[in-house]
Structure 1
Amino acid sequence: MDLQPRRSGTEPSPFSAFATTQTEDAHEHACSLQQWIQTYEQLSPGRFNGEIEEAWFGNVQVFRERTNQMVHEAGSSWKGSRTFGIPLNLEGQGWYCGESFDRDTMLTLHGGEELDFRTPRKLDVVAITTDKGVFNDYALRTEGRDIEAELGKRRIIPSSAEKMQELSALLLTVLDTARNSPHILGHAAMRKAMEHAIFDSLLAVIGNGVDALRPPSTSQARRQIVDRARDYMRHHVNEPITVADLCAELNVSRRTLQYSFQDVLDVNPVSFLRAMRLNGVRRALRNGDGRESVTDVALQWGFLHLSHFAADYKAMFGELPSETLRRRLGVPDAS
């Protein structure tokens, strides 16, 4: 599989890739972000230093950009995209498309719109650019929201500091994973899980839309939804099912699914899916030939945070996944 990123002027790469670039010139810096066409002009005096880290996987480009001088940025992102940026640190005031912004605002731009960004003297921003059609379809399937209609021509989105921190922490985790464990993004299940996690966090930051699909009014209707969801899970037990998959299959919103599971099983669908996936890992460890490591199996089932996975596995089954594998291979316990 070719993991090399494609250059500007082509369609986004469907494969995972990670790149980091350090620059000493604003124009060089502008040319470093893949798939973007940009022009940077340095406005404040002094030596320019910049850094860009970016990761590509599937429909998603995640990047972190740091600059130490005031610059004016012009240009556009790749066709059919939607970008969301979160300031991590800034020194001084910046202007984005005619509006001032601070750390508690999210910046957005869709492909084809002209970027008009005068940065503060120092800027550290983390951002995601994704296929806007894919993201909008995800929002419609899971929450009954038309995000493009909600955003309209807005360029700045105010939100709570807590939600912004959750999203920025997730994006930084993705970059850290791509930098230190690039093989993880080679797993289709992991790319899908990370993309959906980012989309969920974005929806939380953007705010609550009107749920077009109201929760069913009777317990019988909710039980039918849960029964259909469980039946779908059973027939796809070896696949990394997500809540978005269930919403699409059942044609219900995330909120409807949540109410139904809580009412019928007293557990939310995310926890139920996690239990299903943990059981899938356990079956794979108990029935496999031992050639795959615990990490490989966990990644195949969409577990990104391996330390959390190990703790959840032990809480569920009373032993660590490594102990399950050792017993399968007939290896005696080290103790």
Structure 2
Amino acid sequence: MAVTQEVTATMTDALEEAAIGKGDASLAVRDAATSLSGLRSEIIEDAAAQAAMQPWVTMECYQLSRGKQVSQMDTLDLGRVQIVREHQFAAIQKLGTTPEDFCTISYCTPDPAFRFSDHSANGADSVFFIPEWTEFDIHVPAGTQTAYVSFSQSEFADAARALNPRAWEQPSHQVSQFQTRQLVELKNALAQWIGAAEAASRRGEPFDPTGMRGSVLETALRIATAPPEEDATRPPPAARARAMRICRLAREFVEEQMVIHVVPTIVDICVSLAVSERTLLYAFHHCVGMSPQAYLRRCRLNQVRTILLARNPQDTTVTEVAMQFGFLHLGRFAGDYKQIFEESPGTTLARRM
């Protein structure tokens, strides 16, 4: 289908079974495939194989324009979360129905010929939501890039309702479209997540998808539940006393979670305190001068530092500890770490030598 924190070792078997079920739709490729416990990168020469690469959705794909190569696909199965990115060489049509407890957030590069059921992708900031048990009929023209992330609908809807009760009290029961200024964040994050899995494969390191699943869900939720920019940090002055109490309770919750090595998300905080994301944003800006996301990141950086200072560098790596606390983009992690602590994480770890 068009459009997106366990990677399963049986992904390859599942794909092969799905391919057989679609009538000998082999996953034909030109380039060598990348496979890492759920990560696949393929050049597709058969539209049916494009459907087989996504066995979590019942789908049929039909090639509609000329081309020996149909698409280039990257799929990353994280268990309860899937990431799919497709660059279409030939036009195709996708027909299917989403299963129970399954939903997606997706986008397409702007093209007037693109059609997602009754919606088009004329705008550069269009994002699509498709819920469970929903029929879809998608036309993807040649030269278009599409991507989606999929989740458990119950998990996504509960979190979205906590962040923005007004908009998500009753989730849509059909394909819906909305505009967001944060689409570039989703595009960059997709590249980061797939790149992190590929990098782990090249290094020959085990890949733990737990932190990535949370990161994927939180990014999609920020996009799907973002309040109007002008309202995000300017609630009425009478709310300031309440904001200070909320911020104090949030800090206590974060500290408690970090003690047991749990990386709390914005959703976790909102659910724990029974507040919306807009209220939480104001509280943090008023009390600590930064967003909840920035505060959480600082907490995790401090936790990493504590571990690095305590571990033996002979049996610990910076990468291992960083990944444990959800830092998937190691270059950004190292930069943020040095900016705060004025030394590299490697220097901190080497202190025990």
Q: Which residue of 1 aligns with 2:177?
A: 156
1:197 CA displacement:
2.5
CA RMSD of aligned residues (A): 3.0
Say if 2:96 is the partner of 1:96. no
1:72 CA displacement:
2.2
TM-aligned CA distance change 1:233 to 1:121, over 3 Å: closer
Q: Which residue of 2 aligns with 1:7?
A: 14
Q: Which residue of 2 aligns with 1:174?
A: 193
Say if 2:280 is the partner of 1:260. no
* Secondary structure, counterpart of 1:247 in structure 2: helix
Q: Which residue of 2 aligns with 1:333?
A: none
Q: Name the amino acid aligned to 1:94.
A: F
Q: Which runs of 5+ in 2 are unaligned?
A: 1-5, 19-35
* Secondary structure, counterpart of 1:236 in structure 2: helix
Q: Name the amino acid aligned to 2:10.
A: Q
Q: Which runs of 5+ in 1 are unaligned?
A: 330-335
CA distance in 2, matches of 1:149, 1:110: 12
* Secondary structure, counterpart of 2:328 in structure 1: coil
Q: Which of 47, 51, 61 is 1:40 aligned to?
A: 61
Q: Which of 194, 197, 217 is 2:219 aligned to?
A: 197
What TM-score do you get using the length of structure 2 for normalisation?
0.79
Deviations 1:168-210 (A, max 9, x none): 2212222222233255751533432343223223434x978x9
TM-aligned CA distance change 1:85 to 1:274, over 3 Å: closer
* Secondary structure, counterpart of 1:259 in structure 2: helix
Deviations 1:99-150 (A, max 9, x none): 4333522233223222212222333211112212111111122233453736
Deviations 1:148-177 (A, max 9, x none): 7364534433x25x4222212212222222
TM-aligned CA distance change 1:296 to 1:45, over 3 Å: closer
Say if 2:331 is the partner of 1:307. yes
CA distance in 1, matches of 2:252, 2:119: 50
Q: Which of 81, 102, 126 is 2:147 aligned to?
A: 126
1:316 CA displacement:
1.4
Q: Which residue of 2 aligns with 1:69?
A: 90
Deviations 1:267-324 (A, max 9, x none): 3322222222111111101112332211111111121221121121112112111111
Q: Which residue of 1 aligns with 2:208?
A: 186
Q: Which of 319, 325, 329 is 2:343 aligned to?
A: 319
Q: Name the amino acid aligned to 1:248.
A: V
Q: Is the 8 A contact 2:157 2:171 kept in 1?
A: no
Q: Which runs of 4+ in 1 moved over 4 A?
A: 182-185
* Secondary structure, counterpart of 1:100 in structure 2: strand
Q: Name the amino acid aligned to 2:138.
A: F
Q: Name the amino acid aligned to 2:14.
A: R
CA distance in 1, matches of 2:251, 2:129: 38
What TM-score do you get using the length of structure 1 for normalisation?
0.83
